[in-house]
A and B are shown apart, each in its own frame.
Chain A
Amino acid sequence: MALQSLDIVRRSATTTRSPDIRQPPAGGGVAKLIDTTKCIGCKACQVACMEWNDLRDEIGTNIGQYQNPHDLSASSWTLMRFAEVENPKGDLEWLIRKDGCMHCSDPGCLKACPSPGAIVQYANGIVDFHEENCIGCGYCVTGCPFDIPRISKKDHKAYKCTLCSDRVAVGLEPACIKSCPTGALVFGTKEDMQQHAAERVEDLKSRGFEHAGLYDPAGVQGTHVMYVLHHADQPQLYSGLARDPKISPTVRLWKGVAKPLGVALMALTALAGFFHYIRVGPDETDAADEAAAQAARRNPEKAT
């Protein structure tokens, strides 16, 4: 879901430049900062996301934990993941992470998408799906280093968090930010968010979280959704947050060098045939061959 825009920096399956005549926004684009150390797991953000985007997931089942629904889906674009972790001191830590699209600066979904314009990246950093161009192949799921996009069982289109691109385009903050009661969710320019995170990290360190830090992974050239983590040295504690996310080398091969090389190989094979015909010519059966065949038929002993 997205608005028409002149601020597109990247467009899926497109080999020419996208409309990007406008100046890139100051401050490194927009960013959402999720401070896991302030999150109380109230799920107001999940509700706000459902409300703004008119999404109603199916009612699931209770499996004895707070995480609900159990996973992201085509109708649940954000999800509080609850991890119960026992720390080395033997204390229980309840690590709650709001999961959803990270809006990578180097988006694996966009790289993998074969349909022109089904995925775009705006100059402000938002990676957005245009479902009317989506063909439902699921390559975005294959390309994503964070396992975020989901293909709807209903319409076979891919869905994920839009970072409320429709709200942001008219100067509003995303719906989830609006709903957060503790200030764990903050929205602004990426530079401002990095600065705010640095203050938070300093505060956490002063209170004994020596490994506190900002999660803005360089492997995908940074993200426009960032986390403040108490244990930035062990992101996997937070329900398997990727330690060093990057577009898989397999996907890079498939969607990188293989494409032009493959097309060139096919074209060269066809051209080789064409020019063989032009230079060497056809291999024809002439009257002499027919005569030899007839002779062989009549007198096989001589036909060697």
Chain B
Amino acid sequence: MSEIFNILLVQNTLRTATPVVLCALGCLMSDQVGIMNIGVDGMMLMGAFFAVLGSYLFGSWLAGILFTMILGMLLGYFYYVFSVKFKSDEFIIGVALNILAGGLTVFLLRTLFGVKGSFSSPRIVPLPTLHIPWLESIPVLGPILSGNTLLVYVSWLLVFLCWVLLYKTPLGFHLRASGQAPEALRASGVNPDRMKRIASVLCGVLAALSGAHLSLGYLTMFSENMSASRGYVAVACVIFGGSNPPRVFLAALLFGFIDALGMRLQKYIPSDITSMAPYVVTVVMMVAVVLLKRRKPSGIKPAAQ
């Protein structure tokens, strides 16, 4: 038992949860303004590719992150133009974006690097790992909290920042209003479309960053379809986290835990079954959340006669 349940498991949980956390935060932003973004999976995949590309071309992880963020902004803006300006079905655009991502990354992989399947090179510079000396001296927490890659810490910070942005600032208020009552917002003199644009671009950047963590933090390579439906898991996390950053964070951590546990159990259970687990658990969680909500009495009580 101690071979499976140890500090390494917690470390792995944090590491595997991070892409889902980042992606879910992006998806949540988009969800708050009333745009369902199924395309985050494709954004993640393209982000992973462009992070590797930037890092490879300039020999610096910073360039990789920069590439990814610019790509994310463009993708987010693209999604906004199609879903809001052209009033397309978000679902179709999202699925098409995922197909485009699959095609484009493989195409670029073959045309630019001349390889099939996956690309790794010593010239790709991974994200740095942060060692915090005073944290490391703490007995149990030390090894868990210290020694992670940069984006792990960034994702924790972003959970907090997203929460502050959405619930404690005027901009956040406008963002939420543009999803819930766009007409009221317009009447108060703020253009809801502008809010949607901001949220969609943020969503693109966050989703693309989650890809950068996959290809520069978690691994140091790009492989075809490496997002492996994690974007959809992020969408599921947003749904059962009720678009609230801390709750979505917990949901993503749970996914990471199941994923990490599965990887450690591979010695005893066939790997296909352990890979299946996170998806099944996510579905079960979605059902559980609905059932739990049902049992709880609703907050609004009928007015007394």
* A pairs with B: no
Binding site for B on A (CB under 8 A): none
B residues touching A (Cβ–Cβ < 8 Å)? none
